[in-house]
Structures are given as structure tokens and as C-alpha cells.
């Protein structure tokens, strides 16, 4: 009686070890699937930012890449369906929408669009997606070329909505840009979701520059601002509202940044922080860093294109908004166009965020206007944990 019992125990232990080995093997296999022969899983990239922070430009950098299916702010549809709601109560709907879109399930938009026939132009800013301007979505432009969105808008708007899903499925990378997310917690399930391969690019910008840019687009941003403010929309004085919105934006940018640091190392590698100002100062090096991070090649025609548009030789509009002006100059516009009182008030509201992200305070109007002073700190990514597997920072990065 004794011996078989020991045998049974032994058999049990061996079987447990086998199961463990198998599970570990499968896990290991998933983690390293890039290096095996099986079909690579699509890469999902979320460009996480706020309004007026240069995210359209980053979106375009991804969107023009021939391996990328890009959509600009899909959660716009959620917010515009519930304009009386608050950012907090819409978070989960936004999260679930992003997940569906990453998996190319476009039926999720059904809840947020009018019933009846749809075309791909039912999507917010669809023409920002080169993928919706080239095959299989639209056959009028070749897939591997830079496509000006004005041309696309003119010629591809009638394509049926179904092509969006078909197009999405034909790319190795799905990139979504979103400004309507205020914490990272709601995204945790996506970071660990085995059907996703999520990478987050967190784009931040000097709050003083964001504020200035928002001031010039108040009307455009009104519905969104109202949702951001929630109940405060009704109680705050008109002149205080923009500062309150900035306070929420700054706090959320900092929360996201800090939340990442409390995650396991493996997940931290799914995150890359980018300051808009660094991109403006070294567009080619930073674009290269972005592409590298998500496994995209910086193709020669894209290099010329980035070089051109950041010098005002671009075709059409882009976040640099430069027809001839220098992007670097534009990024400093707050220095001469914002009154010092506003700058000072913003520094009080957003001080913590500025400190963490390397935006230095100005202490006087004289310093603010003195363009030979630089208020951007050189930024060393803490412990390099935000780098993808040791990819090096381009040498020109600290210029
Ligand atoms: C870049 O600019 C040059 C000179 O204006 C132009 O000939 C070229 O076609 C542009 N290339 C791209 C990819 O935008
Ligand atoms: C930047 O632009 C402003 C306004 O357009 C102009 O007054 C200023 O001279 C420019 N500065 C530089 C360094 O180009
Ligand atoms: C601007 O800053 C530089 C560098 O600190 C300084 O030498 C110069 O005197 C300043 N100019 C003015 C007008 O304050």
C-alpha cells in the first residue's frame, strides 16, 4: 500500500512539473514570438497626448508609414455622443472602443454613429489616415507614397465603411492617437491583454505652449473642455475655466507618467515618453527613435519628407503649421505672445508636472522674452527603463 502511494505522489509531481514546463514554454514563446518563424502579431500603438500638443504631427509621422493603419482620435465619437457627460464616466467606453479598433473590429462605432448608410468618411478626420486613401480602401493612390490629405479627402470619401476594417487587417501596425484619456489605470487591461501587443507613446508639451495654443482655438475645443470640466463648467468664472482645464490636463499627464513607474519592468518597456520640444529640435533623430521603438523602418522617402516638412517645405497642413516659419520658433511662441502674469499663473498650476517633465520656470518677464535663455531641461530618461530593450537614444538627442 505504501509504495504505490509514493509512486502516485511521484507521478503527480512529475505531471505538475510537465504542466509547469509547458505553460512556461508557451509563455516564453509568446514573449519571444518576434524571433520565431510564426506570423508576427500586429503591433498596436497608442499615441497618448492632450489637445494642442503636437499629436497630429506624431499621428501623421505614423500615418504616412506604408506599414501603418492609423486613426486619429477615434474616441471623439464617444465624447460627441455624450456631450453632457464627464471624462471619468466615459473612460471605460473609450478604453473598450480602442481595444476593438486595435483588433480591427469597426462595428464598435455603431453605437456612436447615426443609423443608415455609412462611408469611410463617417469617421472623424478619416483623411488623416493614409491607409484609408490607398488600397484596399481606395485605389486612387499608391500605398507606399506620401498622400496629401486634401487630395485624399476629395477622391476617397465615398468608399463604403466596410473598407475600413479590410484596410486595418492588411497592416502590421495599428496606430491610434488619443487625447481623451486622463489616467493609465483604465488602460491596464489593454497592456496585459494577450490578444494585443500594445505600445504607448506618451507625447507631452510645455503647458505654457499648450495654453497659448488652446487660447487660439477656444471655440473648436469648447465641447471637449466642457466634458473635461464636468460640474465646474457651471460654477467657474469664464476667465478661470481655461486654467482649470489646464490643471486637469497637467495633473493627468503627470499621473500617467508616474503610474508607469510603478508598473513591472516588462510593462514599463511598453511605454515611451516624448516631449514635443525634443521632436521639434531634432525631428529626424526623434522620428527614428519612435519608429525604432515600434519596429518600423525609417524609409528613405519618409526621411526626405520629415526633413522637408519640418523646414516648412511640406505639402498641406501639419502640426508644424509652417509654410515658411521655423517650427522651433513656433514652439517658443508663448515666450513673446503670452503675458507674464498668465505664464506665472500657469507655472503655479502646472508646477509639479513641469518639474517632472523638465520644463523650467521663468522668473521674470525679462527672462521670458530673452530668447537666448533656454527653459527646456536636458532630459535623461530615468534609468533608461523607458527605452525599448536598450535601443540607444540618438546621439543628436541632447542637442
Ligand atoms: C522634398 O522637397 C524637395 C524640394 O522642395 C522636393 O523636390 C521633394 O519632392 C520633397 N520630397 C518629399 C518626400 O516631400
Ligand atoms: C519668430 O517669429 C516671430 C513672430 O512670427 C518673429 O517676430 C521672430 O523674429 C521670430 N524669431 C526667430 C528667431 O526667427
Ligand atoms: C539674456 O540672457 C543672456 C544670457 O544669460 C544675458 O547675457 C543677456 O544679458 C540677457 N539679455 C537681456 C536683454 O536680458
C-alpha grid cell, residue 309: 516638412
Q: Which ligand ends up closest to the CA of 368? A: 3
What digits encode the pLDDT tens for the residues 194-244? 999 999 999 999 999 999 999 988 999 999 999 999 999 999 999 999 999
In angstroms, the Cα distances linking 20 to 32, 33, 386, 395 are 18, 19, 31, 44
Atom of ligand 1 nearest to the CA of 301: 13
- Give the range among 153-162, 187-196, 381-390 with minimum mean pLDDT: 381-390
- Residue 337 CB–ligand 2 contact under 6 Å: no
CB-ligand 2 contact for 366 (6 Å cutoff): no
Q: Which ligand is nearest to the CA of 301?
A: 1
Q: What is the pTM of this model?
A: 0.84
Mean pLDDT throughout 270-288? 93
Q: Is 329 in the pocket of ligand 2 (CB under 6 A)?
A: yes
Give nearest CA residue, ligand 2 atom 6: 329
pLDDT recorded at residue 7: 64
Looking at the chain, which runs of residues are DSSP E strands? 43-48, 68-72, 173-178, 198-204, 271-275
CA distance 350 to 172: 38
Query: Helix or strand or coil: residue 389?
Result: coil
Which of 287, 301, 304 maximizes ligand 1 atoms within 8 Å of its Cβ, making it the mutation to test the pocket? Answer: 304
pLDDT tens digit sequence for 101-133 = 999 999 999 999 999 999 999 999 999 999 999
Residue nearest to atom 3 of ligand 3 (CA): 372
**What is the mean predicted confidence (pLDDT) over 249-261?**
96
DSSP string across 54-122: SHHHHHHHHHTSTTEEEEE-TTHHHHHH-TTS-HHHHHHHHHHHHHHHHTT-GGGGGGGS-SS--BGGG
Distance (Å, rounded) from C-alpha 179 to C-alpha 88? 13
Amino acid at each position: 500500500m505504501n509504495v504505490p502511494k509514493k509512486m502516485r505522489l511521484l507521478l503527480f509531481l512529475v505531471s505538475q512539473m510537465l504542466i509547469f514546463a509547458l505553460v512556461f514554454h508557451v509563455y516564453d514563446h509568446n514573449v519571444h514570438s518576434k524571433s520565431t518563424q510564426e506570423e508576427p502579431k500586429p503591433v498596436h500603438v497608442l499615441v497618448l497626448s492632450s489637445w494642442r500638443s503636437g499629436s497630429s504631427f506624431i499621428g501623421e509621422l505614423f500615418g504616412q508609414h506604408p506599414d501603418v493603419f492609423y486613426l486619429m482620435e477615434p474616441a471623439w465619437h464617444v465624447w460627441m455622443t455624450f456631450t453632457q457627460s464627464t471624462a471619468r464616466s466615459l473612460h471605460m467606453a473609450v478604453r473598450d472602443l480602442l481595444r476593438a479598433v486595435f483588433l480591427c473590429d469597426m462595428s464598435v462605432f455603431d453605437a456612436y454613429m447615426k443609423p443608415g448608410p455609412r462611408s469611410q468618411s463617417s469617421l472623424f478626420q478619416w483623411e488623416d489616415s493614409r491607409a484609408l486613401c490607398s488600397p484596399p480602401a481606395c485605389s486612387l493612390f499608391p500605398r507606399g507614397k506620401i498622400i496629401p490629405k486634401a487630395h485624399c479627402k476629395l477622391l476617397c470619401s465615398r468608399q463604403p465603411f466596410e473598407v475600413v476594417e479590410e484596410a486595418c487587417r492588411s497592416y502590421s501596425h495599428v496606430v491610434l492617437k488619443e487625447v481623451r484619456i486622463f489616467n493609465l489605470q483604465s488602460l491596464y487591461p489593454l497592456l496585459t491583454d494577450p490578444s494585443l501587443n500594445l505600445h504607448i507613446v506618451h507625447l507631452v508639451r510645455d503647458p505654457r505652449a499648450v495654453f497659448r495654443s488652446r487660447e487660439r482655438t477656444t471655440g473648436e475645443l469648447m465641447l471637449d473642455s466642457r466634458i473635461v470640466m464636468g460640474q465646474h463648467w457651471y460654477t467657474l468664472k469664464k476667465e478661470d475655466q481655461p486654467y482649470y482645464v489646464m490643471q486637469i490636463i497637467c495633473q493627468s499627464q503627470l499621473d500617467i507618467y508616474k503610474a508607469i513607474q510603478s508598473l513591472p519592468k516588462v510593462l514599463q518597456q511598453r511605454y515611451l515618453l516624448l516631449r514635443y520640444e525634443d521632436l521639434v529640435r531634432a525631428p529626424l533623430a526623434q522620428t527614428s527613435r519612435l519608429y525604432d521603438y515600434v519596429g518600423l523602418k525609417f524609409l528613405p522617402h519618409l526621411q526626405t519628407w520629415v526633413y522637408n516638412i519640418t523646414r516648412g517645405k511640406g505639402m498641406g497642413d501639419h502640426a508644424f503649421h509652417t509654410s515658411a516659419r521655423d517650427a522651433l520658433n513656433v514652439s517658443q511662441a508663448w515666450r513673446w505672445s503670452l503675458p507674464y502674469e498668465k505664464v506665472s499663473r500657469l507655472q503655479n498650476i502646472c508646477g509639479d508636472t513641469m518639474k517632472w517633465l523638465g520644463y523650467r520656470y521663468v522668473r521674470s518677464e525679462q527672462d521670458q522674452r530673452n530668447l537666448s535663455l533656454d527653459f527646456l531641461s536636458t532630459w535623461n530618461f530615468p534609468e533608461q527603463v523607458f527605452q525599448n530593450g536598450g535601443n540607444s537614444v540618438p546621439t543628436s538627442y541632447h542637442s
